[in-house]
């Protein structure tokens, strides 16, 4: 990458996403994994992940609880890696989400869960990874090698792979996702001017709050991470409900608020949140296909449970352009590497 063209890799990888979605939709391996899960009829599900993958796991939590009606929890890896907890996981489904498949704590959690009776599934972008060989089953998100440190195409591909897996477990065919490649192209094309305006507004922002409800909470969390790691912008993400339970008191005219509000129940539940932050004088930008503020980044409408796959695309463009405008290189954020090894 040339220093004269900062963000070159991130830009190219953002633009790849419509094609990656089409490749995922054309694949057949997810159906076989889903059939095994459905046959075993797990009594509840657990999700293990770190970083951006943790936000994808939260999205999967909503999918599993709503579409499969299974109670679902997010694993705290340190209960296994640091404290040695060994609960009985018979008849439990464990999905471990890791783009690299190389995080030692997630490998240890998956190995431990498999030995204690769980059906273990690795969701990765690295078919030959240690995580894939540790888990009983594996799903390849098929995004191809990612050069930029900030995850873009691997994050959205993970979301879509998780949707297709969970939809297939309930007997679906992924039909609602068929239009996503075209909708992704529209999203990238139609949001460009609004993203440019957001860059202009936030270039000198001192702090940012991102917020959403329902499925889109994953988008708010990922947006805060992307903006913090590429632009070094202090950003905090809140569920809209949690924001109203106290943190809204810190919102004022010096606060930028990025509110994700799509169509459906989650977006409708954001109306009170938008009213509250407006009343406190915040600089509000909405993103999505639902309730809109004066400054709005549009996203085409789709099934509510698929909206996060599209919503994240203009967020990634915003992170890229804002980082460059603030004098950074989002391909090489300071102090970060592609694989973070924790235990």
pLDDT in tens, 40-63: 999 999 999 999 999 999 999 999
- Tell me how far apart the alpha carbons of residues 154 and 124 are, in angstroms, rounded to a whole number: 9
Here the tokens at position 84 are: 């040695």
Q: How far is CA 161 from CA 148, 153, 157, 219, 221, in A?
A: 21, 12, 6, 16, 19
Q: First-to-last CA distance in the chain?
A: 32
pLDDT over 80 (residue 201): yes
**DSSP 8-state code for residue 175:** G
Quick one: what percent of the chain has pLDDT higher than 90? 90
- Pairing label, strands 92-97, 208-212: unpaired
φ, ψ of residue 260 in degrees (nearest 5): -90, 120
Sketch out the chain's domains with CATH numbers: 8-177 (3.40.50.10490), 180-325 (3.40.50.10490)
> Closest Cα partner for 33 from 138, 104, 111?
138
> Please, are residues 100 and 127 in contact by the beta-carbon 8 Å criterion?
no
CB 153 within 8 A of CB 16: yes
What does the alpha-carbon distance between residue 313 and residue 228 come to, in Å, rounded to a whole number?
A: 16
The pLDDT value given to residue 4:
72
| Predicted local confidence at residue 208, as pLDDT | 95
Average pLDDT over residues 62-79: 97
Show the tokens assigned to 67: 């579409």
Residue 335 pLDDT > 70: no
Q: How do residues 77-126 score in pLDDT, each as one tens digit?
A: 999 999 999 999 999 999 999 999 999 999 999 999 999 999 999 999 99
| HSE value, Cβ hemisphere, 13 Å, CA-based, for 247 | 15
223-to-212, 234, 298, 316 alpha-carbon distances in Å: 11, 12, 15, 8
């Amino acid at each position: 990458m040339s220093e004269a063209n900062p963000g070159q890799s991130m830009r190219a990888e953002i633009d790849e996403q419509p094609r990656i979605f089409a490749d995922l939709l054309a694949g057949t391996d997810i159906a076989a994994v889903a059939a095994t899960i459905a046959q075993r009829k797990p009594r509840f599900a657990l999700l293990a992940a770190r970083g951006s993958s943790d936000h994808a796991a939260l999205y999967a939590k909503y999918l599993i609880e709503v579409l499969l009606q299974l109670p679902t929890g997010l694993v705290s890896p340190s209960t296994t890696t640091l404290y040695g907890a060994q609960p009985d996981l018979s008849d439990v489904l464990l999905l471990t989400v890791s783009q690299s498949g190389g995080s030692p704590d997630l490998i240890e959690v998956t190995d431990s869960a498999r030995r204690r009776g769980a059906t273990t599934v690795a969701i990765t972008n690295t078919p030959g990874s240690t995580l894939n060989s540790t888990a009983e089953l594996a799903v390849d998100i098929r995004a191809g090698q990612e050069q930029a440190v900030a995850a873009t195409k691997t994050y959205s591909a993970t979301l879509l792979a998780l949707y297709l897996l969970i939809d297939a477990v309930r007997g679906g065919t992924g039909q609602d996702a068929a239009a996503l490649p075209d909708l992704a192209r529209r999203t990238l094309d139609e949001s460009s001017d609004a993203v440019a305006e957001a860059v202009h507004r936030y270039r000198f922002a001192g702090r940012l709050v991102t917020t959403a409800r329902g499925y889109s909470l994953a988008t708010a969390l990922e947006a805060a991470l992307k903006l913090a790691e590429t632009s070094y912008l202090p950003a905090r993400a809140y569920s809209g409900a949690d924001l109203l339970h106290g943190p809204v008191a810190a919102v004022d005219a010096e606060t930028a608020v990025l509110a994700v509000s799509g169509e459906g129940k989650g977006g409708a539940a954001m109306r009170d949140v938008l009213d509250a932050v407006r009343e406190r004088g915040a600089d509000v930008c909405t993103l999505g296909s639902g309730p809109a503020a004066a400054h709005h980044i549009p996203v085409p409408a789709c099934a509510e449970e698929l909206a996060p796959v599209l919503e994240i695309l203009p967020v990634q463009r915003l992170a890229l352009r804002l980082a460059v405008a603030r004098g950074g290189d989002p391909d090489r954020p300071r102090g970060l590497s592609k694989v973070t090894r924790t235990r």
